[in-house]
Homo-oligomer: A and B are copies of this chain.
Amino acid sequence: MISLKKPSAGIIDPWGSTEIESYERLLEEFGIQPLNGVADKLPHKPSFIRRKIIFGHRDFERIVNAINNKQSFVVMSGIKPSGPLHIGHILTLREMVFFQEMGGTVFYCVADIEAYEDNGISFEESGEIAVDNLADALALGLDPTRAYIYRQSKENDVKDLAFIFARSVTLSTIEAIYGVRHMGLYMSALVQAGDILLPQLKRFGGPKPTLVPVGIDQDPHIRLCRDLAHKFREKFGFILPSATYHKIIRGLDGSPKMSKRNPMSYFTLAEDVESVAYKLRNAFTGGRPTAKEQKELGGEPEKCPIFDLYKFFFIEDDEKLLEIYMKCKNGEILCGEDKAFAIEVVTSFIKEHQRKKQSLIDKSRAILSLD
Contacts and interface: CB of A to CB of B under 8 A. Distances in A.
B183 A166 contact: yes
Nearest to A170: B182
A116 interface: yes
Contacts of A181: 171
Contact of A184 (B120, B163, B184): B163
B163 A159 contact: yes
A153 interface: yes
Contacts of A283: none
Contact of A116 (B164, B169, B175, B191): B164
A81 to B, nearest CB: 15
A168 interface: yes
B163 A113 contact: yes
A26 interface: no
Interface string A168-194: 111110110000111110110011000
Interface string A321-336: 0000000000000000
Contact of A167 (B160, B162, B174, B182): B182
A116 to B, nearest CB: 7
B183 A171 contact: yes
A184 B167 contact: yes
A22 interface: no
A69 interface: no
A156 interface: yes
Contacts of A59: none
Given A168-B182, A168-B184, A187-B190, 5 more contacts: A117-B167, A163-B184, A166-B182, A172-B180, A183-B190
25 contacts: A116-B163, A116-B167, A117-B167, A120-B167, A153-B163, A159-B159, A162-B187, A166-B182, A166-B183, A166-B184, A166-B186, A167-B182, A167-B183, A167-B184, A168-B182, A169-B182, A169-B184, A170-B182, A170-B183, A171-B171, A171-B180, A171-B181, A171-B186, A187-B187, A187-B190
